[in-house]
Amino acid sequence: MLLDLIVSFVAMFVTPDAARGLSSTAPAYLDEDSVRQHLAVAVVAGVLTRTKSAMTPEPITDRGACDAIASSIAKGYRASAHHLRGWLDVCGDQPGCALLGFAGRIS
């Protein structure tokens, strides 16, 4: 998939210091390689959706959709960034409003 290729390319530019710093926030879950992948996917998803990137999954309740998104890190971040972009569009690019919508605080 093209997205995976782009993510692999971007991951090469994540600095060791950035990877170490972020992996230290959850060392049992994140090693430096997984941090590189997460950062790269977040950056690519942000560029594709014109957001500063969402760092959490899209809040959904449909089990099938959840399983599809959870099948790859890239799909999860892309869905999340699209969800955030939708709220940014509704909120006139006001981040506070968009984040409240993203979190389900406004409808």
The domains of the chain are located at 2-102
Q: How confident is the model at residue 62 (pLDDT cuts 50, 70, 90)?
A: confident
The pTM for the full model equals: 0.73
- Residue 35 reports pLDDT greater than 90: no
Q: How many angstroms separate the CA atoms of 91 and 68, rounded?
A: 28
- Residue 90 reports pLDDT greater than 90: yes
